Chain A
Amino acid sequence: MKQIYETVMIFDGTLPDETIQKESAKLEEFIKLNAEFDHIDVWGKRQLAYTINKKKTGFYQIFYFKADSESNIAAKIVKFLKLNETVIRHLTVVQEIIPVPVVRIRPESSNENEEGDISNDE
């Protein structure tokens, strides 16, 4: 089954923009090889809520892609990024499919019953 994945990457905020672009391009290529790449969402430089390895800022990027659920893409990305020192944190998550709410049509008589119940409680 095809699922939409999203990978959040946090690069070291102190790095120059060129290195960040180079590293993100590497991952983009890796994703293109293993899955259907969709798009990147760039948040840019942000203050981290707490220091990670003595770093206070991070460069956030989110990659969206489609992959087969049996392709083990999340594990592959973890393996790919394990030894990369420019990446502070990364998280790969399957995007949740939001179900369409079911509209229930109640008969009018049921409403009257509910009102009756409330008055009994009081």
Chain B
Amino acid sequence: MMNKRFSRMKKVCWFDQNKTEPDYKDQKLIERFVTERGKIVPRRLSGVCAKHQKKLAVAIKRARYLALVPFVAENIR
């Protein structure tokens, strides 16, 4: 049972909503799901479904290898 005061809007997967798939070549899309530091955003925060989070993780790792997205963002203090 969920208390009404604490009930939240159910998050919807961004990829399902827009009917797209994660792509490692799309830098802007990858940056959406990466923190300032360069970490992958957990799906409990981003609301991405399990299927797409798995694909997204692979895409982010490919983008990192191709130097489109940093492994670790420097100069943040």
Q: Which size class do A's interface residues fall under? A: 10 to 19
Which listed residue, B4, B19, B64, B71, touches A101 by the CB 8 Å rule?
B19
Given the complex of chains A and B, what is the CA–CA distance between A51 and B57 in angstroms? 22
Query: Which B residues touch A10, using CB under 8 A?
Result: 66-67
B62 on the A face (CB < 8 A) = yes
Instruction: State how many angstroms separate the Cβ of B43 from the closest Cβ of chain A.
Output: 20
B13 on interface, CB distance cutoff 8 Å: no
Q: Does B47 contact A (CB under 8 A)?
A: no
Q: In the complex, are the beta carbons of B66 and A121 less than 8 A apart?
A: no
Q: Is the interface of A mostly helix, strand, loop or mixed?
A: strand
Interface centre among B2, B68, B69 (most CB of A within 10 A): B68
Q: In the complex, are the beta carbons of A50 and B70 less than 8 A apart?
A: yes
Q: Are A122 and B25 in contact (CB under 8 A)?
A: no
Cβ contacts under 8 Å, A8 to chain B: 25, 66
CB of A101 to closest CB in B, whole Å: 7
Q: For the complex, is B65 an interface residue (Cβ under 8 Å from A)?
A: yes
Find chain A residues with CB under 8 A from B68 CB.
49
Q: How far is the CA of A82 from the CA of B24 in the complex (A)?
A: 23
For the complex, what is the distance from the CA of A62 to the CA of B21, rounded to whole Å?
19
* A8 nearest in chain B by CB position: B66
Asked whether any CB of chain B lies closer than 8 Å to the CB of A96, the reply is yes
Partner of A121, one of B2, B64, B67: B2
> Which residues of A pack against B, CB within 8 Å?
8, 10, 48-50, 52, 58, 62, 89, 91, 93, 96, 98, 101, 121-122
Q: Interface on B for A, CB 8 Å cutoff?
A: 1-2, 4, 19, 21, 24-25, 62, 64-71
8 sample A-B contacts, Cβ–Cβ < 8 Å, listed by A number: A48-B67, A49-B64, A49-B70, A62-B25, A91-B65, A96-B21, A98-B21, A121-B1
A-B pairs with the 7 shortest C-beta distances? A48-B67, A49-B70, A49-B67, A50-B70, A49-B69, A8-B66, A98-B21
